[in-house]
């Protein structure tokens, strides 16, 4: 799975001038779904993690932040 990146332009009102503003991420639906599935799987299996509980909880926190960042850039 890979991100698709495209250039983002700002249009100035009243003119035909486009100013390049950087890049945005597109086509993120599959990636967001995979992140959601992974987070759900970690939550479901958390009762079996035993000694790895702290590390799994950290993964869950990180995975929950990633979709927010992706949505900001999309």
How would you write the pLDDT of the chain (74 residues) with one tens digit per residue?
777 888 888 887 778 788 888 888 888 888 888 888 888 887 777 667 788 888 888 888 888 888 888 888 77
pLDDT on residue 46: 64
* Pairwise CA distance, residues 1 & 38, whole Å: 14
What residue ranges do the domains of the chain occupy? 4-73
Q: What are φ and ψ of residue 4, in 5° steps?
A: -105, 135
pLDDT at residue 51 in the model: 84
Cα torsion through 57, 63, 69, 74, rounded to 10: -160
- Provide the sign of the torsion angle of the four alpha carbons 27, 66, 6, 21, taken in this order: positive
Strand pairing partners for 10?
Answer: 19
């Amino acid at each position: 799975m890979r991100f698709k990146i495209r250039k983002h332009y700002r249009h100035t009102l009243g003119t035909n001038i486009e100013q390049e503003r950087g890049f945005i991420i597109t086509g993120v639906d599959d990636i967001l779904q995979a992140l959601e599935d992974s987070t759900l799987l970690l939550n479901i299996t958390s009762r079996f993690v035993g000694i790895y509980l702290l590390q799994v909880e950290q993964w869950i926190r990180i995975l929950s932040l990633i979709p927010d960042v992706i949505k900001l850039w999309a």
